[in-house]
Structure 1
């Protein structure tokens, strides 16, 4: 290398912007969460029960559910949300997916004393330019949309108009 030549610039791999890192971290957290919808007057999950006691009871139920074939079920966080429900964050995505199994959901709700529902996370989507003649209340229409677009079963919870076609 000649004395006059500058060394080649160091190249660094393209790192995602910080906002992308936060988005990915939030997505990972959401995948580990389960939503408990609590009915008023529940024996364990109510305003009078200390948070630590709720976490202990939930962890005890999770440990009893675990069994030899299941993943480790460690409660990482318990967050009380405005609608009286709770977000339970588990330590792994696999643990949350394992608990979301319909049979295990039932076992968990019964073990926690009933009056609890485990809800799936839903997202609102806006689909533009849907003909107003579409019968969105008809189950056959919903089934047809799923099949045509190769959407997995139970992925669409409901459809509704932003503005009622009769008011246009």
Structure 2
């Protein structure tokens, strides 16, 4: 299926907002609004929740913890995930799964980053775009024998105390 036909909104038409230190930028709480589309079946879903980027107990990593509600095929369920970020001195980071396995690098110094992650026989292509000091977008396109999916997320910084 042609993914462009199912993703009419570009990653972002705005000039990307450069971020010299990805961990400093991401630290704090964000709202997350995500649309999910299975391109093979046409099934659609949404995720609405929060993402928090906070120091891990080990002092070396930052945890990315998402929690919210996933609506899929008429069902609404609690959903979440945890990733790790290992900051580097140059302002970039290595993103890992919760168990420490490598996921992808993240470099937002130009305001935009593309990542690729092979998962078994599937392939995940991600595009990160920072549109302002308080908003960034993430698009994952997953293809392979088990997947043909498009996930689009908008992260907005929460005001302190919200």
TM bin, normalised by shorter chain, reads under 0.3
TM-score, scaled relative to structure 1: 0.24
Bigger share in helix = 1
TM-score, scaled relative to structure 2: 0.24
Larger radius of gyration: 1
Bigger share in strand = 2
